[in-house]
Amino acid sequence: MSFFNELGKKLSQAGQDAAQQTKIFAETTKISSYISDEEKRIDDLYKQIGKSYFEANRNNGSDIYAAQIAEIVNSQNKILEYQQQIRDIKGIKNCPNCGAELNKNSGFCSSCGYNVTAAASVNEAPVDTTPINTVPAYTIPVPVENSPLNLNKNGEESENNAEN
C-alpha cells in the first residue's frame, strides 16, 4: 500500500505544481499584455510627435529632416495618384461643390444637388492633383452658374439665392 500512497502524493504534488505553473503563466501573460499595450501607446505617441513635426516643418527646406519630409510628400502625392486610379477603375468622380463621390455618368450630386454636367461643360477641369505641400489649408467655394446654392467670394449665400 505504501506504493499507492507514494504514487498519490506524487500525483497530488504534480497537480499542485501544474496549477502553480498555470497561475504563473496567466499572471505573466496578463502583465506582458499590459507591457505590450504601453509599448503600443508609446509608438502611437512617437507617431503623433513625428506627424506634428512633419506638419510644422514640411515647407522648411533647411531642416535636418528635409530628405525624409520630401519622401513623405512624394509618397502622399503617389497616394493621390493611386486614389485617382481607383476612382477611374470604379467609374467614380467627385462633386466639385461638396466633394462627394458620384458615378462618372451622374448629372447631379446626390448629396448637395449640384449640377455636375453644367460644371463639367463650363470648367472641364480634372480632379485637383496639386501636390499636397502646396495645397492651401482652406479653400472658399467658388460660385458656379446653375448651382442650387450660389456663394459669393466669402462663402456666403449670394443675394440671388436669398430672395428664393
Confidence of residue 6 (pLDDT cuts 50, 70, 90): confident
SS3 115: strand
Confirm if 95 and 109 have CB atoms less than 8 A apart: yes
Angle between helix axes 66-90 and 2-57 (nearest 10 degrees) is: 100
Rounded Cα distance, 38 and 44, in Å? 10
Rounded Cα distance, 14 and 4, in Å? 15
Q: What pLDDT score was predicted for residue 111? A: 92
Region 39-56: mean pLDDT is: 90
Strands 92-94 and 101-103: antiparallel
Residue partners of 72: CB distance under 8 A and separation at least 6: 54, 58
What pLDDT digit, counting tens, does each position of 86-130 carry?
888 888 888 999 989 999 888 999 999 999 887 666 555 455 555
